[in-house]
Amino acid sequence: MRAVLRILDPPRNHEGSGSEMKAEFVIVGAGSAGCAMAYRLAMAGRKVIVIEHGGTDMGPFIQMPAALSYPMNMKRYDWGYKSEPEPHLGGRELVCPRGKVIGGSSSINGMVYVRGHSMDFDHWEEAGAQGWSFADVLPYFRRMETWHDGGHGGDATWRGTNGPMHVSRGPRENPLFDAFVQAGKQAGYQVTDDYNGQQQEGFGPMEQTVWGGRRWSAANAYLRPAQKTGNVQIVRALARRIVIEEGRATGVEVSRGGRIEVISAEREVVLAASSLNSPKLLMLSGIGPAAHLAEHGIEVVADRPGVGQNLQDHLELYIQMAASQPITLYKHWNLLSKAVIGAQWLLTKRGMGASNQFESAAFIRSQAGVPYPDIQYHFLPIAVRYDGQAAAEGHGFQAHTGPMRSASRGAVTLRSSDPQADPVIRFNYMSEASDWEDFRRCIRLTREIFGQEAFKPFVKHEIQPGAALQSDDELDGFIREHAESAYHPCGTCRMGRADDPQAVVDPQARVIGVEGLRVADSSIFPRITNGNLNAPSIMVGEKVSDMLLGLDPLARANDAPWQHPNWQIAQR
**Binding-site residue ranges for FAD:** 101, 109-112
State the catalytic residue, choosing from 378, 400, 488, 564.
Answer: 488
- Integer Cα distance of 280 and 308 in angstroms: 7
CA distance 191 to 204: 6
What are the backbone dihedrals phi and psi of residue 471, each rounded to the nearest 5 degrees, phi first?
A: -75, 165
- Quote the strand ranges of 501-563, DSSP E: 517-519
Question: Can you tell me whether residue 284 is helix, strand or coil?
Answer: helix
Pick the closest to residue 34 from 267, 274, 258, 211 (CA basis): 274
Pair type for strands 81-82 and 375-380: unpaired
Query: What's the distance, Cα to Cα, between the start and end of the chain in Å?
Result: 51
Q: Cβ(525)–Cβ(490) under 8 Å?
A: yes
| 3-state DSSP assignment of residue 122 | helix
Residue 134: what are its φ and ψ, rounded to 5°? -60, -40
Q: Is 488 noted as a catalytic residue in this protein?
A: yes
Alpha-helix residue ranges (DSSP H) falling in 399-533: 433-450, 472-482
Helices (H) and strands (E) in the chain, counts: 13, 25
CB atoms within 10 A of CB 369: 11
Give me the sign of the Cα torsion angle 467, 471, 472, 474.
negative
Q: What is the Cβ-side half-sphere exposure of residue 146, based on CA atoms within 13 angstroms?
A: 11
Active site residue ranges: 488
